[in-house]
Amino acid sequence: EINAWCMPGGKIAVYTGILPVTKDEAGLATVMGHEVAHAIAQHSAERASQMQAAQVGGALVGAASSNSKYADYINQAYGIGGQLTILKYGRNQELEADKMGLSFMAMAGYNPNTAIGFWQRMAQASAGSQKPPAFLSTHPTDQSRIAQIQRDLPEAMKYYKK
């Protein structure tokens, strides 16, 4: 499987299937920088808090609308809206991890410009797979991710020493 992820508590899992896509040390530094960024930013804890807040909100909406003849519609609308908000937040976390990861790989001595090639290879590797519409995904589209990384590169390059 072509994947890597950060577990709650900061442990990082890298599947061997991603290694051909990384191609070299700089590609692996892109992956590791991204996953370390998730750990440092505590994205898994943020996500858990968000899910808990959504559940509490759902219970409150359910209680407040219980006497309404539109209770089912209100609860469904809340559920859909809450889920879409959480998904967007996940995409923002991914972009934040990309940005931080570029700086981390630069600090480790890897040229952040090489991250573009890695993400292009990731896009090619997943080109045939089924992807949900962008608004239903926890990850940004390949094109938007690469475009944002290109915008973030000048900041990361400040940390790169040849």
d(CA 101, CA 106): 8
Q: Of 32, 27, 30, 29, nearest to 14 (Cα)?
A: 32
CB atoms within 10 A of CB 9: 9
Which amino acid type is present at position 133?
P
Q: How far is the CA of 113 from the CAs of 27, 106, 120, in angstroms?
A: 10, 9, 12
Write down the catalytic residue from 1, 25, 35, 96.
35
The average confidence (pLDDT) of the chain is: 86
The per-residue pLDDT for 136 is 67
The per-residue pLDDT for 106 is 98
Q: How far is the CA of 88 from the CAs of 100, 128, 134, 138, 158, in angstroms?
A: 18, 24, 9, 7, 29
Instruction: Verify whether residue 94 is a known catalytic residue.
Output: no
Helix axes 25-40, 71-107, angle to 10 degrees: 130
The per-residue pLDDT for 69 is 80
Residue position matching structure tokens 């570029």: 102
User: Which residues have CB under 8 Å from 161's CB, separation 6+?
Assistant: 109
d(CA 64, CA 126): 44
Q: How many Cα atoms within 13 Å fall on the side-chain side of residue 161? A: 2
The pTM score is 0.78
Helices marked H in 6-111 — which ranges? 19-22, 25-40, 43-64, 71-107
Domain boundaries, the chain: 4-157
pLDDT, tens digit (0-9, with 9 covering 90-100), for 45-85: 677 666 676 676 777 777 778 777 877 777 777 666 666 55
